[in-house]
Amino acid sequence: MEDPCENSAENEQEEEAKAASEHFAEVAEAEKGSDADSDSDLETEGTDGLREGVKDTLYQRFCQALNVVPVSCFLCQQNASELNLQHRGLGPQGAQALAVMLTSNPYIKRLDLRDNGLLRAGAEALADVLSKNSSISDVDLSENQLGAAGAQALCAALTVNQAVQKMQLAGNSLEEQAAKYLADLLQVHTGLKSLDLSYNQLNDQAGETLGPALAENTGLTELNMSWNHLRGPGAVVFARGLEANIFLKVLDISYNGFGDLGALAVAEALKANNVLEELNMSNNRISAAGALSLGLGLRVNRTLRILVVSRNPMQSEGCFGLLKSVRDNPASALELLDLSADLCTGLQGFLIFHSFGGGTGSGFASLLMERLSVDYGKKSKLEFAIYPAPQVSTAVVEPYNSILTTHTTLEHSDCAFMVDNEAIYDICRRNLDIERPTYTNLNRLIGQIVSSITASLRFDGALNVDLTEFQTNLVPYPRIHFPLATYAPVISAEKAYHEQLSVAEITNACFEPANQMVKCDPRHGKYMACCMLYRGDVVPKDVNAAIATIKTKRTIQFVDWCPTGFKVGINYQPPTVVPGGDLAKVQRAVCMLSNTTAIAEAWARLDHKFDLMYAKRAFVHWYVGEGMEEGEFSEAREDLAALEKDYEEVGVDSVEAEAEEGEEY
């Protein structure tokens, strides 16, 4: 509820200003006349400095008559192209004194009077200036408590004189009544290019008023409606106005209440609108359903370059839906899709799931990794990569795609967990008796690994390990960041009745090549580090005993420069399974992430396939035709050869290395 004392004080101040201005009008005209005579005399004498002195004296007289303190900055800037008087406390009378001087000023192009308490009387004085001065094209009157009456005066002035191209009216307590005046302005002012109405109280009724005006506007290219109260039917009508508009390029409707219905209306607008390039819809209460609706517009839109939908409760389903819509639109112009996780209280990193064989160095996943590396340089970026299998292939050009993707993402990824389809097929057939595994079967196995890795972030445990901690223990060098993933027990419900599945048994199972989710034999290489992530009924004593046994086996070799070799995490939350799924519900499980030199086998296999195709330059023309250069193939192949050599070098024992150095010396 408004305080009547405050209203009466404000009205009294405005009445006083009005009376003073009326009293001074005749004096102002007389002074201008005398100035004109003086100016003609001064021009004859050629003394510009004296003329400026007369103008300064005139401004000071106006201030004295209106009982306000002259603004010294104005005296310095009155002949500049920009007059910046932010936060000067001018008030209505100060604005009136200034207005008399601005009416015929031919120099000032930009007028900035933000936060000066101008109120209605000040707005009316400046409106008189804007109706007559054709030089001022950029005006900022934000945070001046102008209200509906002030907006009415300004809109009327801009209708008369259309010289102003940019107007900022943020934070002026503008409500639905002011929206009517603004709507009238938008329908007739074709020269206004940019309008800022943020931080006001424009509600759903205002949206219903402004929507049709936006549809008919033929000049505005940038509109800021953020931090208002557009919601419900008003948001829908406003979005329909966007659908019909053919000039607007930048629209900010963040921090409103568009919700799912508003998102659907915006999606319909994006289907028809072929002009809009930037759209900000952050903080609009858009759920996963609203995001999926918005995706319908992204499937066909050809012009939108930037879409910001951060800080909306869209969840992963909504985010994935938007990404999929962009991917499915070959004509999409989208360069930036902002799904920022600013609402997270403790963002640790990002998990990126993609196939190496299906993408290229210029693919979406590669671009996403690059953007995350730039925007979140210090956060962990972990890949779950479906890598090419020795016998199972999804595409003829898979060797090209895999080499190009590995090369491009190598510097942007902190850790890449390797999985291949052939290894998971074999595990499904052997352990779960599934002869023809579907993608659902494969994905559920990968899901167990992801769940184990993130369990310590979600539940309590004796030795919880966060993303940064196990990454620090797994990656000895920046490029050596491709650990193998193994999960145990992978067992069906029928077999689980006959198995004890002790800590020792599931630990031993992780070191069996048949249980690895990548086709390579760890016995042909050496382990650099192993991260054992246990879940459920597990105690440190049993873990230590199991690891001690592993270290005694000759078939399991570790590099001699890493004597410890193991990082252990224990989480009390037992593993979960999909109801009715393939896996048995067990009391304990372990996920092993192991960085081993044996992965070089996978690189060598892939390099050989690449060389066979590239020797004939087979299929290269398709990539070149899409804008890639042939030199990128050679560069990527050399990078993979260097990576393969890096793994070979870290596997050499330090004693052998010292001996070789001695021989060379």
Residue 610 is inside which H or E element, if any? helix 600-615
Q: Are 143 and 169 in contact (CB under 8 A)?
A: no
Report the C-alpha gap between 554 and 556 in whole angstroms.
5
- SS3 for 418? strand
Name the token pair of 328. 């499915």
Give the list of residues 6+ apart from residue 353 with CB closer than 8 angstroms, or none. Answer: 383, 384
CA-based nearest residue to 51, from 73, 34, 72: 34
Please state the separation of Cα 261 from the chain's center in Å. 23
Name the token pair of 106. 């031919």
Report the C-alpha gap between 206 and 235 in whole angstroms.
9
* Rg, C-alpha atoms of the chain: 35
Q: Are 319 and 311 in contact (CB under 8 A)?
A: no
Which long-range contacts (C-beta less than 8 Å, at least 24 apart) are formed by 47-56? 52/79, 55/101
Phi-psi region of 637 (alpha: psi -120 to 50; beta: other; left: phi over 0): alpha
Looking at the annotation, which residues are catalytic?
469
CA-based nearest residue to 56, from 35, 40, 25, 81: 35
Residue spans of alpha helices (H) in 459-588: 467-474, 493-496, 503-510, 540-551
Report the C-alpha gap between 647 and 643 in whole angstroms.
6
If one counts every other C-beta atom within 10 angstroms of the C-beta of residue 565, the result is 17
Amino acid code (one letter) for 533:
L
Report the C-alpha gap between 365 and 367 in whole angstroms.
5
CA angle 393, 394, 399 (to 5 degrees): 65
Q: Are 566 and 532 in contact (CB under 8 A)?
A: yes
3-state DSSP of 236-262: HHHHHHHHHCCCCCEEECCCCECHHHH
Report the C-alpha gap between 618 and 475 in whole angstroms.
36
Q: Are 534 and 574 in contact (CB under 8 A)?
A: no
Residue spans of alpha helices (H) in 439-502: 439-458, 467-474, 493-496
Which residues are registered as beta bridge partners of 415? 382
